[in-house]
Structure 1
Amino acid sequence: MSASERVFDVSGSTILVVDDEPINLEMLERMLVSGGYREVVTTEDPREVEPLVEQHRPDLLLLDLTMPYRDGFQVIEALKARYPGPCDLPPILVLATQQGEEFRHRALEMGARDYVTKPFDRIELLMRVRNLLEVRNSIKVLRDEKRVLESMVVERTREIHDTRLQVVRRLGLAAEYRDNETGMHIVRMSKISELLGRALGMQEEALDLLLNASPMHDIGKIGIPDHVLLKPGKLDEHEFELVKTHAIIGADILSGDDSELMTMAREIALTHHERWDGTGYPHGLQGEEIPLVGRICAVADVFDALTSTRPYKQGWLREDAVEYLRSGAGSQFDPTVVDAFMGRLDEVYAICDEYQDSTGIDDDLLALAEESL
């Protein structure tokens, strides 16, 4: 059924009629039923209105003004207090014997949508009922369609986010496989980065970005020739300058996407080799000129790189790597980040133990690396 068909099909609407005169209720019910409305609820007692509205969720309320216990104005006030949302309260068609404008104006000012006087003209009453129900139904259709669209947007946003994460993870792994047989370095490094970010007070959303952006820190290694990247001995000056270009290469690879994830990944790739004292590369940033995520990843990356065995080196003992970080606080590293690292050594070691390197690459190991990020 199309939206327009749903708008004009009001015969299934629920109508609540409130009038203290039984003869009026009987007459109104007959009029509405003869007009094609199948769900008509009636009451003579205005004190029953709120429970009936709660029970039946009517699409329209026909309300008499002059009644015992509570008049129609008091009923409207009570309903507005209970259902403050503009779409929560059903439209109210006031029924009254009063001809004075002050009654009509007051009822409309209080929120009634229409006003008819007794005795009723059947055709006029049914037309007013239909008009109000069509408006009500239109609002409900639009609200439902809005919910559907919002749900589609959420789903599409999630799909885009998931796709970006897959790109990040696989490119990060591809870069890591250049000089590490398993790619678990980026898992450990990203989880240590998240740990440090949490210790430094980063919010959950930012921590999630950090966890998923940090694996791209060395994506620029893709652009470094194997004979340099995998050289078993010490690099000469020209080779070292060539390796240093991986920060710029990584930032270039990650450019062109302004999402929060890729923006942080680009920032990390560009700045994780900057030094606290300004002697790092590629731009010689100093102190807090270096983004916090770059300072965090510098500590996490260096520790795990030092303790990892690569084709061109043996891994350091953890205690030696910790001492290296301690001695570099204030020169190579942000001392605040190093302090956070030292305060969570047990958790850092637990991450290293859980995500150890293994020899060779297989599907299970690839899945573990991807699922861990």
Structure 2
Amino acid sequence: MISLLPKQSILVVDDTPENITLLSELLGNDYRIRVATSGEKALKIAYSDEPPDLILLDIMMPGLSGLEICRRLKANPDRRRIPVIFVTAMSSIEDEERGLELGAVDYITKPISPPIVKARVRTHLALYDQSRELERMVKQRTHELMTTRQQIIRRLGRAAEFKDNETGNHVLRMSHYARLVAEAHGLGEETANIIFNTAPMHDIGKIGIPDSILLKPGKLDAEEWKIMQQHPIMGAEIIGKHENELLETARIIALSHHEKWDGSGYPQGLKGENIPLEGRIVAIADVFDALVSVRPYKKAYPIEESLELMQKQSGLHFDPSLMRAFEKALPEILQVREIYADEFGPLTDVEFKINEIYAHRDDPQGYPGVLTSPKDSD
């Protein structure tokens, strides 16, 4: 069976029933007709979940005029693209000019010519369809570009891991921690996601550190430590400066995540709010995961001991307001830590049930099912 595409819908707005009947009969065979005899009803239909594909709009109506309806529609970002054709007895050049200036795509004067109405409706619906398809393609391409950038960032983050003692899922865990802290601090979803997607690049500069220093099991001497402190600068240079927000945020994080609130950090010795917010957030996420994780040169500290150490550094290493956000997000952070434990192997590219944490964050019963391990989720 051949499935037919749904008819395009046209909203006819006129306070005269005869005019509505005329246009409905003229166009009803080819389009789904909806009608409104007042401006208020017209806007209600236009703002509904099923807006029309085109509006035929009279100008002279009681209450809201057609011009005011058009102005309001064009001021609404979600509805401004709907094509509006004025169908009116106002036939002066000044009237037509004013209507087009308000955003109408065409202007038909009464009494109407049926062939002209049909032709112009068909033309503007076709143009609207092309515009929506182009917009869809741009959104799809933009999404693909964003996904590609995110994958590049994650791959480069993984490349840094291969040079370092840090193992398994550190980059993935601390990226989730950073997003949770950002959200708990009151940042919006978009900003929190940018931090999440760029945090994996925080240590990319370690690619430039000699293995003899990076992999040294003992304490670094003064000269070696001086070289190690260059990795944030190297990371920023590897990423480079960009107008793109994603890549620029990655550069900022790489450069600033070892700065400390009291100014004793590196490489620039920035202090307080002079440290970029993204770097302050990632510093907390990075240090916490390092404390509670096993490294070749150290054991994993217990959660309680790690939290105590971090609290002592509030106002010294860490931004005190972000530490409060960290404490607020801690239950979710511990969920992430268990889901992406190193014992399950590297899971950098897998999102095992992680969205359940965010979906159930307001659930007073906790996070049912979230802690199912990756081994049990096949």
The separation in 2 between residues aligned to 1:247 and 1:276, in whole angstroms, is 17
- One-letter amino acid of the counterpart of residue 276, structure 1: W
Judged with a 3 Å threshold, the aligned counterparts in structure 2 of structure 1 residues 174 and 52 are, in CA distance, closer, same or farther, namely same
Deviates more, 1:281-290 or 1:311-320: 311-320
Deviations 1:72-112 (A, max 9, x none): x9996389499846965656487xxxxxxxx8659x77986
Counterpart of 1:113 in structure 2 is 108
Cα 1:104–1:259 change in 2 (3 A) is: closer
Decide whether aligned partners of structure 1 residues 318 and 177 sit closer, same or farther in structure 2, where only a CA change above 3 A counts: farther
Following superposition, the deviation at residue 53 of structure 1 comes to 7.7
Q: Distance in 1 between matches of 2:244 and 2:300?
A: 36
Match of 2:266 in 1: 281
CA contact (8 A) 1:187 1:369 kept: no
Aligned twin of 1:206: 191
Residue 348 of structure 1: CA displacement?
2.3
Alpha-carbon distance, 1:129 to partner: 5.4
1:326 aligns with 2:308: no
Distance across 2 between alignment mates of 1:360 and 1:74: 67
Alignment gaps of 5+ in structure 1: 1-13, 17-43, 60-72, 95-102, 117-124
- The answer as to 2:350 corresponding to 1:368 is yes
**C-alpha distance after superposition, 1:317-368 (max 9, x if no partner):** 222211111111111111111222233333222221111113866xxx4533
Deviation at 1:258, TM superposition (A): 2.3
Are 1:247 and 1:270, in contact at CA under 8 Å, matched by a contact in 2?
A: yes
Q: 2:168 aligns with which of 180, 183, 206?
A: 183
Q: 1:285 offset after TM fit, Å? A: 0.4
Distance 1:372 1:224 in 2: 33
Map of 1:237 onto structure 2:
222
Equivalent residue for 1:155, pick from 121, 140, 145: 140
- Give the Cα separation in 2 of the matches to 1:343 and 1:47: 59
Aligned counterparts of 1:129 and 1:195: Cα–Cα separation in 2 = 60
* Greater fraction helix: 1
TM-superposed CA distance for 1:298, in Å, is 0.8
Question: Once superposed, what is the RMSD of the aligned Cα atoms?
Answer: 4.0
Counterpart-to-counterpart distance in 2, 1:164 and 1:148? 24
Q: Give the corresponding residue for 1:310.
A: 295
Displacement of 1:157: 0.4
1:251 alignment counterpart = 236
Matched with 2:124 is 139
Structure 2 counterparts to residues 1-373 of structure 1, below 5 A: 45=18, 48=21, 55=28, 77=61, 80=66, 84=70, 92=87, 113-114=108-109, 130=115, 133-180=118-165, 182-358=167-343, 365-368=347-350
Q: Is the Cα–Cα contact under 8 Å of residues 262 and 271 in structure 2 kept in the other structure?
A: yes
Hey, what's the Cα distance between the residues in 2 that align with 1:270 and 1:151? 36
Classify the secondary structure of the residue corresponding to 1:324: helix
May I ask how many residue pairs the two structures share in their alignment? 301
Evaluate the alpha carbon distance shift between residue 297 and residue 90 of structure 1 in structure 2; reply closer, same or farther with a 3 A threshold: closer
* SS of residue in 2 equivalent to 1:343: helix
Whichever residue aligns with residue 218 of structure 1, its letter is D
**Does the CA contact (< 8 Å) of 2:206 and 2:235 recur in 1?**
yes
Q: Matched residues in 2 for 1:90 and 1:170: separation?
A: 51
CA 1:132–1:74: 2 relative to 1, 3 Å = closer
The 1:136/1:337 distance shift into structure 2, 3 A limit, reads same
Unmatched runs of 5 consecutive residues or more in structure 2: 1-9, 33-56, 75-81, 100-106, 356-378
Do the aligned residues in 1 keep the contact of 2:59 with 2:67 (CA within 8 Å)?
Answer: no
Shift, 1:51, TM fit: 6.2
CA-CA distance at 1:303 after TM superposition: 1.1
Native 8 Å contact 1:268 1:294 kept in 2: yes
**Which segments of structure 1 move beyond 3 Å, counting only runs of 4 or more?**
44-59, 73-94, 103-106, 108-112, 128-138, 180-183, 369-373
- CA apart distance, 1:247: 0.3
Matched-pair contact (CA < 8 Å) for 2:83–2:124? no
Relative to structure 1, is the Cα distance of residues 280 and 45 closer, same or farther in structure 2, using a 3 angstrom cutoff? closer
Residue equivalent to 2:366: none
Give the residue type in structure 1 aligned to 2:162: Y
SS at match of 1:264: helix
Call closer, same or farther: CA 1:358–1:53 in 2, change over 3 Å.
farther
Question: How does the TM-score come out when normalised to structure 2?
Answer: 0.68
Kept in 2, the 8 Å contact 1:277–1:332? The answer is yes
**Is the CA contact (8 Å cut-off) linking 1:213 and 1:262 kept in structure 2?**
yes
> Aligned to 2:295, what secondary structure does the other structure show?
coil
Compared CA separation, residues 252 and 189, structure 1 to 2 (3 A): same
> RCO higher in 1 or 2 (8 Å CA, sep ≥ 6)?
1
Identify the residue that residue 62 of structure 1 maps to in structure 2.
Answer: none
Q: Is the 8 A contact 2:232 2:254 kept in 1?
A: yes
